[in-house]
């Protein structure tokens, strides 16, 4: 069974900011699928903040190509971008790993305020900006899940929705025609329970068709 992992909800950039002695630290966090997309994000932030003193980056991936096959070795990287070694990128990477995040990229931009912060001050500033971005993010668990299609009559829609909630399934799509068709994702370990409950509850009046196992994002409450 593939292992679940934590990441940020895809397709968004989450921001954080911290100021220390007039130096601004602007954090940007997003989900990425591979090294190429991480580098593209980093370069995009550098282009946006071209006039900043530093654009420090860190990323951690399940695998280099984003496939995340069983046995893949996670890939992590950080760059201090001109800050003293170990004072910027590594503390940011520590924040990501401390939160158990994968497939994410973080860039913290620094506008220099005219006062040197020292080693401890830099570590604190970059870490704090990183934590602010993580705190703003919608964290999801990517769980190995079975894609299921349910077909039933309109009269059973309320009951099906209640059953989905009780079994930890997530509704991903719906179609309404002569009857109702739901596309749902069920955590792999609950597939047998889900299908048995559907059969017992609706006595053949809800038809199930199982699909492939895919990673699907479940929100962390």
What would the pLDDT profile of 60-97 be if each residue is shown by its tens digit? 998 876 665 555 688 999 999 999 999 999 999 999 99
Q: Does residue 117 sit in the same domain as residue 196?
A: no
* Structure confidence by residue, pLDDT tens digits, 149-162: 999 999 999 999 99
For residue 131, what are the contacts with CB-CB under 8 A and spacing of at least 6?
16, 95
Last residue of a domain, one of 103, 118, 137: 137
**CATH code of the domain covering residue 201:** 3.30.70.240
Average pLDDT value for residue range 94-114? 95
Determine the average pLDDT of the residues in 204-220. Answer: 88
Q: What is the CATH number for 94?
A: 3.30.230.30
Which residue, 102, 137, 172, sits at the end of a domain?
Answer: 137
Total number of domains constituting the chain: 2
120 and 169 inside one domain: no
pLDDT given for residue 76 in this prediction: 94
97 and 205 in a common domain: no
Residue range(s) defining the domain that contains residue 10: 5-137
Quick one: 15 and 74 in the same domain? yes
Boundary (domain end) residue, out of 84, 102, 137: 137
> Does residue 17 sit in the same domain as residue 119?
yes
């Amino acid at each position: 069974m593939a292992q679940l992992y934590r990441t940020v909800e895809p397709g968004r950039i989450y921001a954080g900011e911290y100021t220390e002695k007039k130096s601004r630290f602007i954090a940007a966090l997003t989900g990425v699928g591979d090294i190429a997309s991480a580098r593209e994000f980093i370069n995009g932030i550098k282009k946006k903040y071209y006039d900043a003193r530093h654009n420090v980056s860190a990323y951690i991936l399940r695998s280099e190509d984003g496939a995340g096959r069983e046995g893949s070795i996670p890939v992590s990287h950080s760059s201090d971008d001109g800050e003293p070694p170990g004072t910027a990128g590594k503390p940011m990477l520590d924040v990501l790993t401390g939160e158990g995040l994968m497939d994410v990229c973080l860039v913290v931009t620094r506008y220099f305020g005219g006062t040197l912060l020292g080693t401890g001050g830099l570590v604190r500033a970059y870490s704090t900006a990183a934590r602010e971005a993580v705190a703003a993010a919608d964290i999801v668990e990517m769980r190995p899940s079975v894609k299921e299609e349910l077909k039933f009559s309109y009269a059973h829609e309320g009951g099906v929705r209640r059953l989905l909630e009780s079994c930890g399934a997530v509704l991903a799509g719906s179609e309404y025609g002569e009857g109702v068709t739901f596309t749902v994702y069920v955590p792999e370990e609950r597939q047998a329970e889900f299908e048995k409950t559907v059969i017992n509850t609706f006595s053949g009046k809800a038809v199930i068709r199982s699909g492939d196992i895919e990673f699907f994002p479940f929100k962390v409450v």
